[in-house]
Amino acid sequence: MKIIHVVGARPNFMKIAPIMRQMAKYPDKFEQILVHTGQHYDTNMSQVFFDELDLPRPDVNLEVGSGSHAWQTAQIMQRFEPVLVEHQPDWVLMPGDVNSTIACALVASKLGVKIAHVEAGLRSFDRTMPEEINRLLTDQISDLLLTPSRDADANLLREGVNPAKIRFVGNVMIDSLVRLLPKAEMRWPLLCERYQLDRYILVTLHRPSNVDAPETLTEIIAALRELSREIPVLFPIHPRTRNRISTLDMTQDNNRLILMEPLSYIDFLALQMHAGLLLTDSGGIQEETTYLGIPCLTARPNTERPITLTNGTNRLVESRRNSIIETAMDILKQAGTRKPAPELWDGMTAKRIARIFLNDMKGQ
């Protein structure tokens, strides 16, 4: 069985790596081709992830780069179509909800190639989010929907998806996290010494709703400044966010707000494991903190991962100075109690996914 795996952005790499590793155990069954669309092209945002996750170098790099949603999606479609025509795969497997996901799904669908969507069924119910449109459309044209949680199954059924297409397999991102926890723990002493760490808040922001509006970004930075007077704040800055901050008058007024270059996944995981609190707008970090039992504040009005609210450590917070400060200080004063990880967030999702394809071959 020939499978093309598609990656385009950092979270995709964490989801594809364990699947490719598991399928590689069956070289007589699977021929795997890795396509990198180049949606994330910065070395710190892309290449280091291949190295740390032990992903093979891409067989194809479409080298699309950044651009508007329409331009980027169109470029990926144009460059991916010849790849499908040349390789004639049995399946195209893609994770997540980025432009690479929907673009490659559309091309595969038009050419009659079967599509497997990893992390299917997640919904924020907010169609102003480009990712929500990508999720909805990809799920409608996919042949196999691999879901991370029971609520994702329910969303798909409510939308009229054929139940035979849905497979609840668990969260494959947790597979990568579990595998790399020991390496992350080994990095901790060096990071702790470098930044003189004890208790701290870790921040990551990249969504346009937070970083593209100067008023909103100013509110968030003001909150971080205020919080850093009480507890150090570590902020690895996404390239998008750094560009926005550089246009605003946001000079630092204390050395406890530490603005950092983007970190490798293992370094970030090490800091995440030991943080007193995460402030983020990332979907993946909502999941990781839920598994790790670390308090998380998500600066968004909604989330496509409600299980992190009901079964995890995640709380939504308005992207406003006072809301962030009050909620963060309230959490930091509380003694956290760790909840068990959600169902099938156990580090074995890739095994279940590979088994589905092996069974499919038996049934042919």
In the chain, where are the structural domains located? 2-170+345-363, 180-333
Name which of 27-36, 156-165, 196-205, 248-257 the model is least confident about: 248-257
Taking the chain, what is the end-to-end CA distance rounded to the nearest angstrom? 11
**Pick from 4-8, 50-54, 218-222, 327-331: least confident:** 50-54
One-letter amino acid for residue 183 of the chain: K
Please identify every residue annotated as catalytic. 206
**Over the chain, what is the mean pLDDT?**
92
Architecture of domain 2-170+345-363: 3-Layer(aba) Sandwich (3.40)
Q: What are phi and psi of 213, to 5 degrees?
A: -90, 115
Q: What is the pLDDT of residue 336?
A: 66
2-170+345-363 and 180-333 in the same fold: yes
Query: What is the structure's pLDDT at 55?
Result: 85
Residue 71 has pLDDT above 70, yes or no: yes
180-333 is classed CATH 3.40.50.2000: yes
Name the residue with tokens 């009050």: 326
What 248-255 contacts at long range (C-beta under 8 Å, 24+ apart), as own/partner pairs, is 248/214, 248/217, 248/218, 248/221, 250/218, 250/221, 253/225, 254/225, 254/228, 254/229
Distance, CA of 57 to CA of 114 (rounded, Å): 24
> pLDDT tens digit string along 150-185?
999 999 999 999 999 999 999 999 999 999 999 999
